[in-house]
Amino acid sequence: MQLTVEQVRKIAHLARLHLTDEEVELFAGQLTNILDYVDVLKELDTTGVPETNQVTGLTNVLREDVVAQDLCKPDELLECSPLPKDKHQIKTKRVI
């Protein structure tokens, strides 16, 4: 399946990529090669092969969240800021 220049431009637009004409031509060939390879892989019989999303056997090592003692008071943190403060908060410009 040969991708057309228009299809590559549409893919680039969806991916928010700005491509030059030379890049569109280059990527049309490369994307076509990738899709052709995927078509070859579709021919494999995967009956009985379990789905796999990770092959190393590693798992995330997570620690429990523990509430630690406060190192300083909120007002002490505000004192570190050179920005203007109002009612225990840093004042900022309005964002609309």
Residue 80 lies in a domain: no
Residue 10 lies in a domain: yes
Three-state DSSP at 29 gives helix
Task: Give the global pTM.
Answer: 0.49
The 8 Å CB, 24+ separation contacts for 31-34 are 31/3, 32/1, 32/2, 32/3
Residue 9 lies in a domain: yes
Residue 13: give the domain boundaries. 5-42
Which stretches does DSSP call E strand in the chain?
85-86, 89-90
Residue 1 confidence (pLDDT) above 80 = no
Number of domains composing the chain: 1
Per-residue confidence (pLDDT) for residue 59, from 0 to 100: 82
Per-residue confidence (pLDDT) for residue 56, from 0 to 100: 85
Tokens 């060939």 sit on residue: 29
23-79: pLDDT as tens digits: 999 999 999 999 999 999 889 998 998 888 888 888 887 888 888 887 888 888 888
Residue 92 lies in a domain: no
Three-state DSSP at 90 gives strand
List the CATH number of the domain containing 11. Answer: 1.10.20.60
Residue 38 lies in a domain: yes
